Amino acid sequence: MSLANYADSALLGFQGRVRAGLAANEVRELDTAVLSYALNNQQFFEGVMDINSIKKSTQRPVYGYQFNRIASTGGTGMTTQPTGTLGSSVQIPLTFVSFTETFATYNVSGLDNVFQFAQIFDNQAKQAMRNIRTRIREWLTSNLYSNRTTVLPLGVSNILNANFNSGNACYEISGQNPYADMTSVMRQSSYGASTYDALFDPILYPNFQFSSAQGTMNATNLNYQFAKTPTAPAPGGYFDNIWEDLNLGTEVAIQTEYTNGTALVMPKNAFAFVPWMPANYYAPGFSKSFDQYVGGYGTIGDDKYDGLEYQIFGWNNQSDTSGSYGYAQSQTQNWQIGFTAAFITSQLSNTGETPIYQFAIMP
């Protein structure tokens, strides 16, 4: 039997999954280096993993401790009976912030669908993780910017090679040797024994790429600004990592007058990223199944970064999903994943001073 318009040979009922590579553009994310950088700083505090055992609710405070700087006594000679004073330490509160995302699944949704249940859950979970990662990146960049130093270093009244704009809390430098000037300012601030990490905004980073590409065969060799071995007579201190932070200048409100590019530069271990998870998600004895329509607690690792782990909670209910391509006798799982962390910078005795410096290129 033949049908008009070739209806008998039409493949109207055929369904197929789009390959992941083609669908990747729909679920792309703003991938900045700040999250990787923060994850490397998870263990900056000694004994930080003890937080898991001593903190039982998000309201209970947790502190870090460090020694304060001891000022010079200005002595000029040895004495018969010298006297001194004890040093001091500072208690640093950790303020935890949580990022959560929710999604739902039907236990029968994979029966009459081109996607199986495991694939549906995997997609839902990965997209929730992507949204959390994006939010964490914005939060980290914003914290680094808001915690930049707002004063000159302790005991320093003048910095060469830059103008410190106290109103904007920013070191303004010329565009002739910007990266050499940045490292010079860091050394003048007594960070010469460290290497520096930097987050450049999308304006400055292409400038850095151009400058770093100017080698010995070019008319103007700019590579001296990026040498791993400091040039004499500098006592040390050079860039170890320079990343482009796409949130810098967009999500973070950089001053409008700095249109030639800006950067956040800091020595190693300038801040700490301290994750924490409530005990009920990983402690033995808590339910991790859905027996008799109860909830379950557990943990789930990030699909992109090792060392990034989320708390996950699921709740199972009988439901009628016949109106949304399910069954009258169905079950619905509501899920929530979350990540909790604290951000903190090194505490300095000089009020307003931090090891995070903002630089801007002036016209």
pLDDT over 80 at 111, yes or no: no
Rounded-to-integer distance, Cα 193 and Cα 245, Å: 25
Name the H helices within 110-213: 117-146, 178-188, 204-212
Decide if 52 is inside a domain. no
Greater model confidence, 217 or 67: 67
Structural domain boundaries, residue 208:
163-274+350-361
How far CA 94 is from CA of 63, 98, 341, in Å, comes to 6, 13, 9
Summarised one tens digit per residue, pLDDT across range 338-352 is 999 889 888 788 889
Decide if 119 is inside a domain. no
Decide if 245 is inside a domain. yes
Summarised one tens digit per residue, pLDDT across range 265-285 is 999 888 888 888 877 777 656
Greater model confidence, 123 or 107: 123
pLDDT over 50 at 5, yes or no: no
Decide if 354 is inside a domain. yes
pLDDT over 60 at 7, yes or no: no
pLDDT over 80 at 248, yes or no: yes
- Number of separate domains in the chain: 1
Residue type at 254?
I
Greater model confidence, 211 or 113: 211
Nearest alpha carbon to residue 271 among 98, 47, 91, 39: 39
Summarised one tens digit per residue, pLDDT across range 201-217 is 999 998 888 777 665 54
pLDDT for 21:
52
Report the predicted TM-score, pTM, of the whole model to 2 decimal places: 0.77
Decide if 224 is inside a domain. yes
Decide if 191 is inside a domain. yes
Decide if 173 is inside a domain. yes
Decide if 64 is inside a domain. no
Lowest mean pLDDT among 152-161, 200-209, 314-323: 314-323
Neighbours of 12 (CB within 10 A): 5
As a whole number of Å, the end-to-end CA separation of the chain is 79
